[in-house]
Amino acid sequence: MVVFKLYTFKSEHKRIKRLTEAIYRPLDIFRQSSNEEIRNIIEDTLYYENILENIVEWLVIGLDLGLLSVLLINFGEIPLRGAFPFDTSHLPFYVIATIIQTGTASVFSITLAAMNELIFSYIRWINSQFRILTIAYEENFVQDILAKIINSESASFESFRNSNHYGKNLYLNDIVTELNSIFNSTMLVQVSSSCCIICLTCFQLVMGDLKSEYKLLFFFGGALTELFNFCWFGSELISVSDCVSDGVWLSGWEKNLDFEVKSLMLMSLITAKNPLEMRAGNFFVISLETFITVSKCNTVK
């Protein structure tokens, strides 16, 4: 899984760079907004992002401590199963094998945490921009339409497409589409790997001695936590993108019953009505429902 994610980041680095610029470019404008609610959304997102970064750091430290505890519990055995071209039962070779395995596990865990944190950050800031878009629809969507009508003397789809709200909605839709295009195969590998790790560790914990299989608890906890985080952010994306249609509906369109306002409002409502999703290939939607399904299947097994 780590190798596949590294390959994705390496092969798609140009698209990832453009995606990063597209997501973070509007944030400076939002920070300077006169709307206090919008500024609060940005501040809250920064706050939770810092919290998540600290949690990820502590999880990596916890994994390293877990490996050390495995060494103490099973002294004389290497932390993970592996084949070496020397006899690890002898002390010098045992130390070398232990250093190789713990060092590799630490590097892999740090790399995996960094890549996951970047994807979480993408989804988190996309969600924040959808919340800001919902507020913008509620406050001045109709005024934006009327201004376009007055300036162009007649409403048209092209003039409406260039409006701030509808254009921002299409912009965010394109970002989510690009995010799925880059990472959908990665999400599929993520879900599949997490399912396999959870199933195998549960089986070995049931069949084996808990003390001898102590290290499996860290694999189980890590896989479950990682899958839950992706599903949580995926569900949040579905929720906030679905709320945009509520913002359109609460924009006060009923006070301006011109045909142009109603028709353009309906076009925006149709666009906003379809919630956006993070997908794992063409097989799964990354959501809490997927997490519950996976958990139930593993419980049954």
| Each residue's pLDDT tens digit, 184-201 | 888 888 888 888 877 877
- Contact present, 213 and 204 (Cβ < 8 Å): yes
State how far the alpha carbon of 38 is from the alpha carbons of 14, 27, 31, 34, in Å.
30, 10, 8, 8
Beta bridge pairs of residue 191: none
More confident residue, 20 or 73: 20
Taking the C-alpha atoms of residue 61 and residue 49, their distance in angstroms, rounded to an integer, is: 18
Residue 290 or 74, more confident? 290
46 and 107 in contact (C-beta within 8 Å)?
Answer: no
pLDDT tens, 78-116? 666 667 777 777 777 777 777 777 777 777 777 877 888
Measured distance CA(159)–CA(22) in Å, rounded = 23
The residue-averaged pLDDT of 206-210 equals 64
Structure tokens at 16: 């990832």
Of 50-54, 137-141, 228-232, minimum mean pLDDT range: 137-141
Q: SS3 sequence, the chain? A: CHHHHHHHHHHCHHHHHHHHHHHHCCHHHHHCCCCHHHHHHHHHHHHHHHHHHHHHHHHHHHHHHHHHHHHHHCCCCCCCCCCCCCCCCCHHHHHHHHHHHHHHHHHHHHHHHHHHHHHHHHHHHHHHHHHHHHHHHHHHHHHHHHHHHHHHCCCCHHHHHCCHHHHHHHHHHHHHHHHHHHHHHHHHHHHHHHHHHHHHHHHHHHHCCCCCCCCHHHHHHHHHHHHHHHHHHHHHHHHHHHHHHHHHHCCCHHHCCCHHHHHHHHHHHHHHHCCCCCEECCCEECCHHHHHHHHHHHHHC
At 240-270, the pLDDT tens digits run 888 888 877 777 766 666 666 666 677 777 7
The whole-angstrom separation of Cα 285 and Cα 271 is 20
Region 127-142 average pLDDT: 80
Give the per-residue pLDDT at 228.
Answer: 87
Average pLDDT of the chain, as a whole number: 76
